[in-house]
């Protein structure tokens, strides 16, 4: 099949490359000539493990190309996949200006019947609205498909080639069958729905996963007060097949480009039909507050006075194996530290440049490795669970720091690793591991 993918962000680029890997003739189009130049020169504008190598492989096979000429790409293709960004507006709604513009450009370029598949995350009803816009510009017939993506940054290639499921929302049996044929090599778990249900499945899935994260973080906060260990609680919960172990890792909350955007957008979608999504509002509120547990623990250790402290921050991306810093907890945590008068030394294996641009303020020393960031500091805050942090020599780390205070925001370290060290240690929901500042458990009354 000849495929055009409009947009070369995470979703568009990874999807296009993986369709090419399956042997289809794919052209990825973007309005940004800088992105296309990087791709044509063998580079990759985003960090995603294995992506550079896979692009080189499929380009060598002749099944993938990049360009800025959307009309030509549309005319040569049977399937047009819209994968442009739908970033949040200030009120939390999805900004549909980019996908509207892309759909109109596609409509003007169509020369014969096409399948138009929307991979961008869009509010329920958007596919129908886009179809109306396109019909206002073109008399050429086309079929609409909702094709939501469920890839995770850091494992996007695996998730695309080995998906849990494929969701196809279609208004035509013939178009649905073509999409089934396209995706059958990936999985036999393909669900065909109406278009609106497919749009809702994407939002509902991300909202539920965000809910699991906020739930386990609330449990962690209670564990800290009653003397239970959230890691053991999560293990026991996860053995129940109705619950499962995924997304039950307590920490400082979620970030990134999907969960924050999609939870807020779903709240807005509900509001537009006069429904107050109370549960999801609480999920967002819990997540927002959870990231500041790091600051609260520092205040507890240093008596509420952070001015003049040298604080190391390990991890700036919202999760490991990505350079994505959109809505990363590190942004607000470092902002609070700077506002309190602390001096920050920051390090991330791949996201440092992106974060430095995002932060846009002075007061941070940008370091080339983890130990450099920790050198001479009064406290270290671990915010992203990169594997290299888990493998650090804690004795060497203690020796490098002026005061060995470690706030483990991702529960990276275990008791056996902390034994014999002199760290003042705080994690999330594991009070028995806290060292250096002992707080007695309250007497429980029933």
d(CA 322, CA 317): 7
Cβ partners under 8 Å of residue 204, min gap 6: 266
β-pairing, 166-170 vs 142-146, is antiparallel
- The rounded distance, in Å, linking the Cα atoms of 150 and 190 is 13
Q: Is 150 annotated as a binding residue?
A: yes
42 — alpha (psi -120 to 50), left (phi > 0) or beta? left
Is 276 among the annotated ligand-binding positions?
no
Nearest 10 degrees: Cα torsion 58, 60, 65, 66? 100
Q: How many C-beta atoms lie closer than 10 Å to residue 253's C-beta?
A: 24
Q: Report how far apart, in Å, the C-alpha atoms of 272 and of each of 93, 265, 266, 276, 310 are.
A: 10, 11, 10, 9, 47
Distances in whole angstroms, Cα of residue 415 to Cα of each of 379, 411, 419, 432, 433: 19, 11, 6, 9, 6
Judging by beta carbons within 10 Å of its beta carbon (0-12, 13-18, 19+), is residue 304 exposed, middle or buried?
exposed
Does residue 86 have a known ligand-binding role?
A: yes
Residue of 18, 28, 223, 258 marked active site: 258
Q: Is 8 annotated as a binding residue?
A: no
CA distance 70 to 104: 11
Q: Is residue 304 marked as binding?
A: no
CB-based contact 216:248 (threshold 8 Å): yes
Pure H helices in 76-229:
97-109, 126-137, 156-161, 173-183, 195-226
Cα pseudo-dihedral 192, 194, 198, 204, rounded to 10: -110
253 in a known ligand binding site: no
Establish whether 114 is an annotated binding residue: no
Number of residues that make up the chain: 446
Task: Tell me if 208 is assigned to a ligand binding site.
Answer: no
Backbone phi and psi for residue 6, each to the nearest 5 degrees, phi listed first = -95, 115
The verdict on whether residue 418 carries a ligand-binding annotation is no
- Residue 326 CB neighbours (<10 A): 19
DSSP 442: P
Name the helix (H) or strand (E) containing 82. strand 79-82
The distance of Cα 179 from the centroid of its chain, to the nearest Å, equals 26
Q: CA separation (Å) from 15 to 217, 362, 405?
A: 33, 38, 43
121 known member of a binding site: yes
Phi, psi of 427, rounded to the nearest 5 degrees: -120, -160
Answer yes or no: 258 catalytic: yes
Q: Annotated binding residue at 30?
A: yes
Q: Please tell me what DSSP assigns to residue 432.
A: G
Is there a binding annotation on residue 35?
A: yes
Is residue 34 marked as binding? no
The response to whether 398 counts as a known ligand-binding position is no
Q: Which residues are known catalytic residues?
A: 258
Annotated binding site: 30, 35, 86, 121, 150-153, 202, 247-251, 255, 261, 319, 326
Residue list, annotated binding site for NAD(+):
30, 35, 86, 121, 153, 261, 326
Binding residues for substrate: 150-153, 202, 247-251, 255, 319
């Amino acid at each position: 099949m000849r495929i055009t993918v409009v947009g070369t962000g995470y979703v568009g680029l990874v999807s296009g490359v993986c369709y090419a890997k399956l042997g289809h003739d794919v052209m990825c189009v973007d309005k940004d000539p800088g992105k296309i130049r990087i791709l044509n020169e063998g580079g990759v504008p985003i960090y995603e493990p294995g992506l550079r190598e896979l692009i080189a492989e499929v380009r060598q096979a002749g099944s993938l190309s990049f360009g800025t000429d959307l009309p030509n790409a549309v005319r040569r293709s049977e399937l047009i996949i819209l994968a442009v960004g739908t970033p949040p507006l200030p009120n939390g709604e999805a900004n549909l200006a980019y996908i509207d513009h892309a759909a109109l450009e596609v409509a003007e370029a169509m020369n014969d019947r096409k399948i138009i598949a929307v991979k961008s995350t869009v509010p329920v009803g958007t596919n129908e609205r886009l179809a109306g816009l396109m019909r206002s510009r073109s008399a050429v017939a086309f079929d609409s498909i909702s094709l939501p993506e469920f890839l995770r940054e850091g494992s996007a290639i695996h998730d695309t080639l080995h998906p849990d499921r494929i969701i196809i929302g279609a208004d035509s049996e013939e178009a649905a069958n073509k999409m089934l044929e396209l995706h059958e090599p990936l999985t036999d778990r393909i669900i065909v729905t109406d278009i609106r249900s497919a749009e809702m499945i994407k939002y509902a899935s991300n909202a539920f996963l965000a809910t699991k994260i906020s739930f386990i973080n609330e449990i962690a906060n209670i564990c800290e007060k009653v003397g239970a260990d959230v890691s053991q609680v999560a293990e026991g919960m996860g053995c129940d097949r109705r619950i499962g172990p995924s997304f039950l890792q307590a920490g400082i909350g979620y970030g990134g480009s999907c969960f924050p955007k999609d939870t807020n957008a779903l709240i807005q979608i509900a509001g537009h039909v006069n429904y107050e999504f109370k549960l999801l509002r609480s999920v967002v509120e819990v997540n927002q507050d959870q990231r500041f547990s790091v600051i609260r623990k520092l205040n507890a250790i240093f008596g509420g006075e952070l001015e003049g402290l040298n604080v190391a921050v390990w991890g700036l991306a919202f999760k490991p194996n990505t350079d994505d810093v959109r809505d990363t907890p590190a942004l607000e945590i470092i902002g609070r530290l700077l506002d309190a008068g602390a001096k920050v030394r920051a390090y991330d294996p791949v996201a440092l440049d992106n974060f430095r641009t995002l932060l846009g303020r002075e007061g941070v020393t940008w370091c080339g490795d983890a130990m450099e960031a920790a050198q001479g500091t009064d406290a270290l805050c671990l915010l992203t669970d990169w594997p290299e942090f888990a493998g650090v020599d804690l004795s060497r780390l203690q020796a490098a720091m002026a005061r060995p205070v470690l706030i483990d925001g991702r529960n990276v370290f275990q008791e056996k690793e902390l034994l014999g060290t002199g760290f003042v240690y705080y994690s999330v929901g594991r009070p028995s591991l806290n060292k250096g500042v002992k707080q007695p458990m309250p007497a429980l009354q029933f």
